Amino acid sequence: MELRKARTIFIPYLLILIASIVPLWMASLNVPMAQTTSQITVYKEVGSANLKAPGTESFWNNIPWTNLSLSANIPNAPTSGLTHNLSVKAAWNGTDIFILLRWNAPNPAFGAWSAAVAGIDPNASGPGLFRIIEITPGAKYQVMSNYTSYYTIVNGTKETGRLFLSYDGISEAMPNGSQIKVLGNGTILFYHSLRPIERILYDSGLFYGYYTNSTWYYPERAAMMWYMGSATPTMDGMHIGGKFPGQTFDGENFTYAGGALKQPGGAANIWMWVSGATWNNKSEDPAFKYNVWENKSMTGLPYTNNGTGFAVPLYTNNTNMYEVDCSGIWYAPVKSSGLEGSLFFIKSGATYSNGYWTLELVRPLAVPMNYSQYMPNITTGKTYDVAFAVWQGAEGETLFDKSITSSFLLLSLSSLPKPESPVLAVNPEIVDITTAGVIIAIIALAAIWISFRR
């Protein structure tokens, strides 16, 4: 009984002793304390990229991952926000900047054509050629036959009349020629969706997500955005809008084009990687399998396959999305003449292994004069606002339905090859007082233990 009582008294003193010793022990070992920061540091390294094996370059071993949280670009859509975390590393070697991305994708989309690229290649077939929208469960449809100048296609059959979709007391008229398929469980699929249609359905609460199954899905994508406006950006996001600003569609005017930057008064450069078009993997990437980028008759520009993949250089402002010095395959070019075929200006390499994509992006720090309005010159001594997005095409993320950083993050170039280990500085007076207290505690504990042992 006495021994048990001694242990009861002894344990709290032991915990106090441990709590006193641990901070001093960590200080003596210079153990870095946990730090939380949203800033992405680009470390100075010696070497070059190996885009056939991204992430395996030795200099990456010195650089820790920065883990970012992603969220849904379209709230309440089941196919938006599927990637919750993105890991980022960054380095530079004096001439180029390297961005390394890694994210979990348990069900990767291989072989899906980029819809934009499929539009210029006669070999295009299979999934990814157009988007299929799944209408909100519980919605109903009706073909109003009194609209005699309209027609609707239902389950492959052409009917005279205008299609109306309704849900939760809201009824929305669809444009002429709308096509739907009704599955056995009542699910309504809307085919050949146009950008204005997506906005109309989303605003009406009818957009549930993009439909996928084992044979119908969309490419994987990842993108990095560099803010180029003069103000401090407060949000990361793009408008769901028309094909172009001011488009009149089915009697409605769309102020914004789909893909226009939501940040007021801003503009940005985007590096967009698409598995079905820009991933240099001939067994999985249709565009490289059919040598699309070497065929000037299709692209209009003498793109050269240099043995790597690339990221599409894009520019967005508050009204529209554009391609920078490209021929207008994905979006309209920023200018109608003086194109130089810069499709491989941002090089990329990607691999998929053990449930994760690893993507490396490489771009010269400096850009040619005629790019400078649309792409940032990256230099030391300056901080950049950047943002990221990821799409899981096999799960239904495509176009505006994606996972994004909810706000912009700060990025800057460092002259260091790796992070400095922070040293925990301890006041010598505190050390003396704490040391004395530890010694007294040890003597007291020993005395208590001996007395109860007797």
> What DSSP string runs through 122-189?
TT--STTSS--EEEPTT-EEEEETT-TT-EEEETTEEEESEEEEEETTEEEEPPTT-EEEE-TTS-EE
The pLDDT of residue 15 is above 80: no
Of residues 293, 268, 259, 298, the one with CA closest to residue 279:
293
Spatial distance between the Cα atoms of 62 and 372, rounded to a whole number of angstroms: 32
C-alpha 18: how far from chain center: 44
Spatial distance between the Cα atoms of 133 and 391, rounded to a whole number of angstroms: 16
- Higher pLDDT among residues 192 and 351, named by residue: 351
Spatial distance between the Cα atoms of 86 and 67, rounded to a whole number of angstroms: 6
Write the CA distances from 224 to 90, 187, 327, 388, 389, integer angstroms.
Answer: 12, 35, 21, 5, 7
Query: Which range among 174-183, 429-438, 443-452 has the greatest average pLDDT?
Result: 174-183
Handedness of CA 368, 373, 376, 377 (dihedral sign): positive
> 136: pLDDT confidence band, cut at 50, 70 and 90?
very high
Q: What is the pLDDT of residue 399?
A: 84
The pLDDT of residue 8 is above 90: no
By percentage, how much of the chain surpasses pLDDT 90?
60
The pLDDT of residue 282 is above 60: yes
The pLDDT of residue 351 is above 90: yes
The pLDDT of residue 242 is above 50: yes
The pLDDT of residue 16 is above 80: no
Q: What is the pLDDT of residues 35-94, one digit of tens each?
A: 334 489 999 999 999 999 999 999 999 999 999 999 998 888 888 999 999 999 999 999
Q: What is the pLDDT of residue 430?
A: 39
Alpha-carbon Rg of the chain, whole angstroms?
29
Of residues 294, 270, 259, 274, the one with CA closest to residue 114:
274
Q: Which range has the worst mean pLDDT, 56-70, 169-183, 184-198?
A: 184-198
β partners of residue 157: 154
> 440: pLDDT confidence band, cut at 50, 70 and 90?
very low
Q: What is the pLDDT of residue 245?
A: 85
- Higher pLDDT among residues 431 and 205, named by residue: 205
The pLDDT of residue 439 is above 60: no
For the purposes of burial, counting CB atoms within 10 Å of the CB of 70, is it exposed (0-12), middle (13-18) or buried (19 or more)?
A: buried
> 422: pLDDT confidence band, cut at 50, 70 and 90?
low
The pLDDT of residue 181 is above 50: yes
Spatial distance between the Cα atoms of 373 and 376, rounded to a whole number of angstroms: 8
Beta carbons of 208 and 137 less than 8 angstroms apart: yes
Grouping H, G, I as helix, E, B as strand and the rest as coil, residue 392 is coil
Mean pLDDT of the chain: 85
> 433: pLDDT confidence band, cut at 50, 70 and 90?
very low
Q: What is the pLDDT of residue 411?
A: 97
Q: What is the pLDDT of residues 284-343, one digit of tens each?
A: 999 999 999 988 888 888 887 778 999 999 999 988 999 998 888 999 899 877 777 788
Q: What is the pLDDT of residue 431?
A: 40
C-alpha 101: how far from chain center: 9
Q: Write down the pTM of the prediction.
A: 0.83
Beta pairing, strands 40-44 & 85-92: parallel
